[in-house]
């Protein structure tokens, strides 16, 4: 057999087991299958006696001289080191758990503020209301102090809430894209408008069947720099679909406001999209038609 056909050995596939005697000999304990030194808290890479012995002789050479093997002093020292390590580990785990709960609470507050369309600065007001309510409702002083300390640790400033909303929005958008990639067909409603900063925005609304329900949602808000012609909007839509790995050929209906840039026969968005989506059909939005009829009507 040639050397090129030999497989490289991997530590994970060797199934090495931790020997309980190594705790007394080399001051190491087993943590999730990895040996950890009780003195330096260093995690050794391989669960192998040679590696443990080398680390012990190199880093803690004087330990055997101060605490001979088999002596009661050595045994008591190891018990003390083990107790200190367990205490540090539990404190770190508890701190991580408390931080995770505080972050989860911050996300839930940001979610509620986003659903209610409230400004991010209201988050501080929410925190003050929670603290005031706990002080009045909870009678037990010990429990009240514990709950108040937990609420004070929640990162709930306006900047923190802004970051939380961005995280939630990204997560919701990824869920929408995942369901949209599995849909057989989809319908798009596209509208172009100008925001308060005088920048043209292309709004994409999508409707599709996810296997259980028909869903409608805002798919994207694409800024348009410069001209707002049908060709520019077509390239923006194509780039958006390619960036998020969506198939243009699954668009079966396009609803627009009937503007020439949208519904033009040759250069309009519907005409250019029809070249890449053969099953595409275009419609004029009923709401825009109603508004157009009201404008053209002589009645007040």
Mean pLDDT, the chain, integer: 78
Q: What's the count of helices (H) and strands (E) in the chain, helices before strands?
A: 11, 7
The yes-or-no verdict on residue 146 having pLDDT over 80 is: yes
pLDDT at 198: 74
* pTM of the predicted protein model: 0.56
pLDDT at 220: 85
pLDDT digits (tens, 9 = 90+) for 161-211: 888 888 888 888 888 888 888 888 888 888 877 777 777 888 888 888 887
pLDDT at 13: 46
Of all residues in the chain, what percent carry a pLDDT higher than 90? 0
Do residues 202 and 192 lie in contact, with contact meaning Cβ atoms separated by under 8 Å? yes
The yes-or-no verdict on residue 102 having pLDDT over 60 is: yes
Backbone angles phi, psi at 241, to 5 degrees: -70, -40
Q: How far is 202 from 235, CA to CA, in rounded Å?
A: 12
The yes-or-no verdict on residue 2 having pLDDT over 50 is: no
The yes-or-no verdict on residue 12 having pLDDT over 50 is: no
Q: Which has the minimum average pLDDT: 12-16, 218-222, 293-297? A: 12-16
Q: Which has the minimum average pLDDT: 180-189, 243-252, 268-277? A: 268-277
pLDDT at 175: 87
- The CA R_g of the chain, rounded to the nearest whole Å, is 32
- Compute the residue count for the chain: 300
pLDDT digits (tens, 9 = 90+) for 18-58: 777 777 777 788 776 778 887 777 777 677 777 788 888 88
Q: How confident is the model at residue 287 (pLDDT cuts 50, 70, 90)?
A: low
The yes-or-no verdict on residue 96 having pLDDT over 60 is: no
The yes-or-no verdict on residue 85 having pLDDT over 70 is: yes
* Pairing label, strands 281-284, 251-256: parallel
pLDDT at 40: 74
Helix (H) or strand (E) run with residue 258 in it: none
pLDDT at 3: 47
């Amino acid at each position: 057999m040639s050397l090129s056909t030999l497989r490289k050995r991997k530590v994970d596939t060797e199934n090495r087991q931790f020997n309980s005697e190594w705790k007394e000999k080399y001051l190491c304990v087993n943590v999730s299958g990895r040996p950890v030194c009780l003195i330096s808290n260093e995690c050794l890479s391989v669960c192998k006696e040679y590696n443990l012995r080398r680390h012990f002789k190199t880093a803690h050479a004087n330990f055997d001289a101060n605490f001979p093997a088999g002596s009661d002093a050595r045994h008591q020292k190891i018990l003390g080191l083990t107790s200190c390590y367990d205490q540090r580990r539990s404190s770190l785990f508890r701190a991580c758990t408390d931080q995770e709960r505080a972050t989860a609470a911050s996300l839930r507050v940001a979610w509620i503020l986003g659903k209610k369309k409230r400004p991010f600065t209201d988050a501080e007001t929410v925190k003050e209301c929670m603290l005031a309510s706990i002080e009045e409702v909870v009678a037990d002083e010990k429990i009240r102090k514990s709950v108040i300390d937990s609420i004070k640790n929640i990162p709930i400033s306006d900047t923190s809430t802004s970051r939380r909303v961005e995280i939630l929005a990204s997560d919701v958008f990824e869920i929408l894209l995942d369901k949209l990639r599995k849909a057989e067909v989809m319908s798009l409603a596209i509208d172009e408008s100008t925001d308060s900063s005088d920048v043209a925005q292309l709004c994409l609304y999508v409707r599709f069947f996810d296997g259980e329900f028909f869903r409608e949602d805002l798919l994207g808000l694409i800024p348009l720099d410069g001209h707002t012609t049908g060709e520019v909007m077509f390239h923006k839509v194509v780039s958006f679909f390619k960036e998020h790995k969506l198939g243009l050929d699954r668009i079966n209906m396009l609803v627009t406001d009937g503007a020439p840039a949208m519904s033009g026969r040759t250069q309009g968005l519907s005409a250019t999209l029809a070249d890449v989506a053969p099953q595409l059909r275009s419609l004029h939005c009923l709401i825009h038609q109603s508004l157009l009829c009201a404008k053209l009507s002589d009645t007040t």
